[in-house]
Amino acid sequence: MSSENLFKRLSGIVATIVTVALSASSALGQAFVPGEILVRARPGAMVEAHMHLSTRGLVVAQVDPWSGVKRVLVPIGAERGMADVLSRLGAIEYAELNGIGSGGLAPDDTFYAIQWHLKNTGQSGGLAGADVDAEAAWEITTGSASIGIAVLDSGIRAAHPEFAGRLASNGWDFVNNDDDPEDDHGHGTWVTGVIAANANNTFAVAGLDWSCTIVPIKVLNQSNAGTTFNLAQGLNYAAAQANVHIINLSLINYPGNATMTNALQGARNAGKILIACAGNNGIGNADVSFPGASPLTISIGATTRSDARWASSGTGQALDFVAPGASIATVSAAQPITNTRSVVSGCSFATPIASAIASLVLARSQELSQAMPDQAALYLLFLAGADDQVGQPAEDTPGWDEFHGWGRLNARRILRAIEPCIADFNGDSNVDFFDVQEFLSAFALQDPRADLNGDGALNFFDVQIFLGAFAVGCP
């Protein structure tokens, strides 16, 4: 049958299944191995089942000799659709996702139990679940050393064991103009600890990203103050570093002058993601406290362990999102180094949570062989994964508001948003009839996008995969 005739036939039958398919929702939040499914043949039908796999161009990677279950390779994004198609065949007992579990990814760090921003159990009077869902996010990825975050701050306690193996060699001190960005205040160490404190070392605390590389850039002095000139130097330097993907700006009260704007724009032009603090002076402060007030940054406010806005968190039109930022346990900058922690509050500590989520997203994109999102794409992922209306009803209204922005960031939901889903064929984040139209049009035009099983041919198997995926929906 020609593709044109098949297209006409399919167009005639699609309407009868779309209504049912649209009502199917994906309740499957379980993590699974991309590009794999598990298939078991019915007794006595092993040859026929194998033929079904072969004709669809599917490769059996491994067979369990005891159960006969096959680990089958499928195109990334087609896992649910292919499993649905195969499970309908008489020769196949079942086809399902190769799910991922774990022995539990709660780290063993001494003070992890009080890090409510990672896992809020209601400890110390908090609201259970008012967190970034870190443990579920770690089931998906714990980060990658190939992702670099420049922390423009007061420097870093480089000898601290919480940063062992995590610091790049190209850090710089623009306050003292040398290559030793040692922290003589503490703020930079606290901020960096929220992002990247080594986890599972039975010491102190856990960062949200367990693997990223930190490029410490000192722009604040021992009084935790800095000049526009030094900050601009730091931004320009970070923009020129190939190992920097994200720039964390836990900084407030700078002027939004030309020097600042040009440096921020230069970093954006270099492809860096800029995440900044929304201010610590309450109502309206997000609009006047730079660099976070600049539209060139993603501006982050702070919430409490009960999902309320932290009282001093900056609000305003410039605010984009919020993240936990009150009573955050992080790495202590005290000397000598001991197994302890510091507890700090402010948008300075909500901002690195957002930066760490961004670095996890970039790492996961690499794992999925996707292009890493730029700042605009990351913003959309944050938007897709933010928890809205979790704060006080008078402030956290539906959609964007000046108190919580688009909502409190949720690492698990944001990471789920980048998982490929072929059911959303037109990429508009909705699974609806327009996706069916787009797929059928691509199929009729012999568009390679419609070759869902990657066998180089457009045929009924591709249609089966799409319709199966469409019926299941996206996670």
- Residues designated as active site: 153, 187, 348
Kindly report the number of other CB atoms within 10 A of residue 289's CB atom.
Answer: 27
For residue 333, give Cα distances in angstroms to 153, 339, 395: 14, 11, 35
Residue for token digits 């362990």? 305
Question: What three-state secondary structure class fits 293?
Answer: coil
Residue among 415, 334, 403, 425 nearest 367 (CA): 415
To the nearest 10°, report the CA torsion of 327, 330, 334, 338: 120
What is d(CA 88, CA 464) in angstroms, rounded to the nearest whole number? 11
Annotate 357-398 with DSSP letters as a single string.
Answer: HHHHHHHHHHHTTPPPP-HHHHHHHHHHHEE-S-S-TTTS-S
User: N- to C-terminal Cα distance for the chain?
Assistant: 34
The single-letter DSSP state of residue 344 is E
What is d(CA 127, CA 136) in angstroms, rounded to the nearest whole number? 18
**In the chain, helix, strand, coil percent, each to 5?**
35, 15, 50
Lookup: tokens for 182: 């040692």
